[in-house]
Amino acid sequence: MEVKKNSLLIVDDENSNLKVLTYILGQDYTIYTSSNGANAIEKAREYVPDLILLDILMPGMDGYQTLSEIKKCNIVKKTPVIFITGLDSDEDEEKGLSLDSADYITKPFNPTIVKLRVRNQIQIVNQLRTIEKLIMIDQLTNIPNRRCFDDRLKMEWKQAIRENTPISLLVMDLDKFKNINDTYGHLQGDIVLQTVAEVFSHSFKRPGDFVARWGGEEFVVLMPNTQMEGAVEVAEKIRSDVESRVMPSLDHSRITITISIGVNSIVPTLDCLVDSFISNADKALYNAKQTGRNKVVCYNKDLIK
């Protein structure tokens, strides 16, 4: 299986410099190029490179201005930038570092130094991504955790407000999960949680839908641009799939489990609270638990207090 290369955006108004750097780095990285600051900002947003090599002296928008604008773009503001420069004064270096540049590559280019400086920054990028993944993934089920869900919800909530589109939430809890742990042990309980997490991946296919482990035996599914009817359809599919799944068993017992699901859907406005959105889905889940379990209940302010 081919390993995906890290990507670089090289920005320089001299075509000869672009060619030289592409020759030096092209074998190890995916290369994008730009010849001016304005176009570099557009390409940074489009390709979201892992590292940007940015010439300081360019006509129009120079490297300092370009870096300042890049830092204003949420999608690339954390992307490290190495300045390409023929300048070597302390004042120039101080100005670049004050703008959060990661390093410098000086002209004329020394291929070995170029490769080492780029490699060092890419190693840092990859290490940070590994750490971020560990922080954001539930280690038992290998799906996103609550912290990751909170970040995703903030992003989708803002977009739903901006675009005036609906957003739906499923809050799900395994029924009588404590009985599994008490009867078969916690290791078997872990296997059940892992298996249920796998079931979710087959219950809905849209790439925008987002499942996470909320904690314990609770899970959530966030569904952007989805009205209540569509959310209920997915919830019923999940409920049915979990109910029909026979869990892998350590002692070859036939173990099954059911799930209760609360659904809430809203077209949020600036006056709406995210906490209320979650709380109301949780109220629907509580109602499902109280009225028999293994069911889907939609939030309705007239029925659920």
| Residues with a known catalytic role | 217
Beta bridge partners of 85: 106
Q: Element (H or E) spanning 265, and its range?
A: strand 259-266
Q: Are 141 and 194 in contact (CB under 8 A)?
A: yes
172 class by beta-carbon count within 10 Å (0-12 exposed, 13-18 middle, 19+ buried):
buried
Q: Are 216 and 196 in contact (CB under 8 A)?
A: no
What does residue 31 show for φ and ψ, rounded to 5 degrees? Answer: -110, 130
* SS3 of residue 102 by DSSP: coil
Q: Which residue, among 9, 39, 6, has the nearest Cα to 21 in the 3D structure?
A: 9
